[in-house]
Amino acid sequence: AVLRLEKKITASGGKIFATNGKKADFHTTLKKCKEAGGSIATPRNPGENDAILYFVKNFNTYTYLGIKESLIPSKFQFLDGTQLNYTNWHLNEPSGKGEEECVEMYTDGTWNDKKCNQNHLIVCQF
Instruction: State the CB neighbour count (10 A cutoff) for residue 21.
Output: 12
Query: Residue 109: pLDDT band by 50, 70, 90 thresholds?
Result: very high
Is residue 52, in this structure, part of any structural domain at all?
yes
Q: What residues have CB less than 8 Å from 7, skipping those under 6 apart?
A: 54, 55, 58
- Is residue 97, in this structure, part of any structural domain at all? yes
- Encode pLDDT of 45-72 as tens digits: 999 999 999 999 999 999 999 999 999 8
Average pLDDT over residues 11-35: 95
Specify the higher pLDDT residue, 7 or 31.
31
CATH code of 50's domain:
3.10.100.10
Q: Contact, 11 vs 2, CB < 8 A?
A: yes
Question: Domain range for residue 58?
Answer: 20-125
Phi, psi of 124, rounded to the nearest 5 degrees: -115, 160
Q: Do the domain assignments include residue 87?
A: yes
Residue 9's pLDDT band (boundaries 50, 70, 90)?
Answer: confident
- Residue 71 to residue 50: CA distance in whole angstroms: 28
Number of domains in the chain: 1
Q: 5 lies in a domain? A: no
